[in-house]
Amino acid sequence: MIILGIESSCDDTSVALIETNSSTLSYSPSDNGENFVVLAEKTASQIEVHKKYGGVVPEIAGRMHAENIMPLIECVLEEAEIATVVPTKSGLLRNDSHFKPDVIAVTSGPGLITGLLVGVEAAKTLSYLWDVPLVSVNHIDGHVHSVEIRNPKLETRNQLVFPALCLIVSGGHTELLLMENHDKYKLLGKTRDDAVGETFDKVAKLIGFDYPGGAKISQTAEGGNTKAINFPRPMLDKGYEFSFAGLKTSALYWLRDNVNKQPTTYNLQPTTLKNFCASFEQAIIDVLTTKTLRAVKEFKPKTVIIGGGVSANKKLRNELDRQLKTIGSELLAPNLRYSMDNAAMIAVAGYYKAKKKNYTNWKKIEANPNWRLA
């Protein structure tokens, strides 16, 4: 099966074609699970445009999605026609100039309505013109399934075994989910205010880093003293709910009381900057790892997953993986390129809906910016 994935929920316009469980694959599966290979993918980033505003401007994002979506789809389909000229089960070559996917999977929520509308309308149009079934995919569901996208350097893939515990950490989401099957989730806890990625970016702006600044905090933190500043660990002992607004405010107050402020940012000396970033990052990691391990001990999942943009944070990955191994669990994390918003993960999540023929009529699919997975 070949699935066209479309993702436009925030500021990246992404299109991908994946293929699964086909004799056209150039390697032998090592298990009986699904095997996904990306045939072609393209993503148009808007970071340089939004950087001068210090964050994503929905109206601008929507216009840029509209400009990018069709050229990206055309480019991916052109690449796929070349990539899929290979032996099929019947021994013939597939070289159809009218090549089209078997299924279209599109992110229809949650996210910015201006972006979601563009992706959904493009998918509706193609579904009608091609007479190809359409599946509606939740963006968070995509991040969960991003761990299944095959790394070309590995012979095997990450295999989900249920129940699975999912930690989703991104610019807009911080959630702990218990996954009983591919379409069955239970929400254990989520942020009551700021998402963890949003917290990183807002504090990064205070110290003069360009948007998005979360990754720059992590880079600067390397070699810093994680105990230099005693930042709070919000709601550490309170179940599975998260709150990061207080941590952000604590960082602001520390800067206000200890650093000279320039016109718009706080100017820290190099050593102080490294220690500030290291201490701030460690506070977030402590909260995320503590609550994840608590959930592992209570629910005893067979798989532990991390996904979302902040899952690219190497220290978070390493610390969570290390602590999980002490209690006999392992962490499944996506390839770094698939931590960020991408269409391949939407296509993978869409596959499981298509497998059950859980299609949505192109006339009825709608963008829902508040769609909750659980």
- Specify the CATH number for the domain of residue 208: 3.30.420.40
Rounded-to-10 torsion of CA 180, 306, 55, 204: 140
Q: Tokens representing 212?
A: 């998005």
* Residue 158: predicted pLDDT: 72
Is residue 248 over pLDDT 50? yes
Is residue 127 over pLDDT 60? yes
- Give the mean model confidence (pLDDT) for residues 227-253: 96
**221 and 85 in a common domain:** no
* Residue 83: predicted pLDDT: 47
Q: Is residue 12 part of a domain?
A: yes
Count the domains in the chain.
Answer: 2
Q: Is residue 365 part of a domain?
A: no
CA dist., res. 160 & res. 332, Å (int) = 9
3-state secondary structure of 256: helix
Provide the sign of the torsion angle of the four alpha carbons 308, 145, 30, 20, taken in this order.
negative
**61 and 208 in a common domain:** no
Domain span at residue 15 reads: 2-151+338-355
Helices 58-83/113-130 angle, 10° precision:
30
Is residue 103 over pLDDT 80? yes
Q: Is residue 369 part of a domain?
A: no
**45 and 76 in a common domain:** yes
**134 and 199 in a common domain:** no
Q: Is residue 272 part of a domain?
A: yes
pLDDT in tens, 135-191: 999 999 999 999 999 755 444 457 789 999 999 999 999 999 999 999 899 999 999
pLDDT in tens, 331-373: 999 999 999 999 999 999 999 999 999 999 999 999 999 999 9
- Please tell me the least confidently modeled range out of 14-23, 60-69, 180-189, 234-243: 14-23
Q: Is residue 114 part of a domain?
A: yes
**131 and 94 in a common domain:** yes
**291 and 203 in a common domain:** yes
Is residue 209 over pLDDT 50? yes
**201 and 139 in a common domain:** no
**318 and 220 in a common domain:** yes
Q: Is residue 296 part of a domain?
A: yes
Q: Is residue 293 part of a domain?
A: yes
**52 and 196 in a common domain:** no
**312 and 226 in a common domain:** yes
* Residue 79: predicted pLDDT: 87
pLDDT in tens, 8-43: 999 999 999 999 864 333 333 333 457 898 999 999
Residues 6+ apart with CB under 8 A from 191: 173, 174, 175, 241, 242, 243, 244
| Stronger pLDDT, 53 or 251, i.e. the higher one | 251
**184 and 147 in a common domain:** no
- Give the mean model confidence (pLDDT) for residues 47-61: 92
Q: Are strands 303-307 and 164-169 parallel, antiparallel or unpaired?
A: parallel
pTM above 0.85, yes or no: yes
**222 and 104 in a common domain:** no
Provide the sign of the torsion angle of the four alpha carbons 141, 198, 204, 321, taken in this order.
negative
| Stronger pLDDT, 359 or 82, i.e. the higher one | 359
Is residue 96 over pLDDT 60? no
Q: Is residue 370 part of a domain?
A: no
CB 321 within 8 A of CB 354: no
- Give the mean model confidence (pLDDT) for residues 301-316: 97
Output the average pLDDT for the chain: 90
Grade residue 223 by pLDDT with cuts at 50, 70 and 90: very high
